[in-house]
Amino acid sequence: MIKKYYSNGKLLITGEYLVLDGALSLAVPTQFGQSLTVETIDEPKLIWKSINDKGAIWFEDEFNLQNEISRFTRNDNNISKRLIEILFAAKQLNPHFLSSNIGYKVSTKLDFPQFWGLGSSSTLINNIAQWADVDAYQLLEQTFGGSGYDIACAQHDLPITYQLKNKFLDEILNQVQDGNKIIVNEVDFYPNFKDHLYFVHLNKKQNSRKEIAQYNSIKNNIVLAVSEINDITSKVITCSSLEDFEYLITSHEQIISKIIKQEPIKELLFNDYKGAIKSLGAWGGDFILATGNKDSMDYFRLKGYNTIIPYHDMALN
Q: How sure is the predictor about 309, in pLDDT bands with cuts at 50, 70 and 90? A: very high
Whether residue 73 is predicted with pLDDT greater than 80 in this model: the reply is no
Contact 289, 277 (CB under 8 A): yes
Amino acid at 114: Q
In this structure, are residues 108 and 47 in contact, taking their beta carbons and an 8 Å threshold? Answer: no
pLDDT digits (tens, 9 = 90+) for 168-224: 555 555 554 555 699 999 999 999 999 999 999 999 988 887 888 889 888 888 999
Q: For residue 53, what is the DSSP state?
A: T
Bridge partner list, 198: 290, 310
User: Tens digits of per-residue pLDDT, 251-288?
Assistant: 999 999 999 999 999 999 999 999 999 999 999 989 99
**CA distance linking residue 232 with residue 250, whole number of Å:** 10
Distance of alpha carbon 163 from alpha carbon 66, whole angstroms = 40
**Position 84, amino acid:** I
Contacts of 253-260 with CB under 8 Å at 24 or more apart are 253/277, 253/278, 253/279, 255/225, 255/228, 255/229, 256/16, 256/17, 256/18, 256/225, 256/283, 258/225, 259/17, 259/18, 259/215, 259/219, 259/222, 259/225, 260/17, 260/214, 260/215, 260/218, 260/219
Distance separating alpha carbons of residues 68 and 35, to the nearest angstrom: 24
Residue 221, pLDDT score: 81
β-strands 287-291, 160-164 pairing: unpaired
Q: Specify the pLDDT at position 206.
A: 81
- The 10 Å Cβ neighbour count of residue 217 is 7
Nearest to 268 by CA among 252, 285, 251, 281: 285
Give Cα 202 to chain centroid, integer Å. 16
Range in 95-99, 135-139, 287-291 the model is least confident about? 95-99
| Domains of the chain with bracketed CATH | 2-160 (3.30.230.10), 190-314 (3.30.70.890)
Pairing of strands 45-51, 103-110: parallel
Average pLDDT over residues 45-50: 96
Is the pLDDT assigned to residue 135 strictly greater than 90?
yes
221: left (phi over 0), alpha (psi -120 to 50) or beta: left
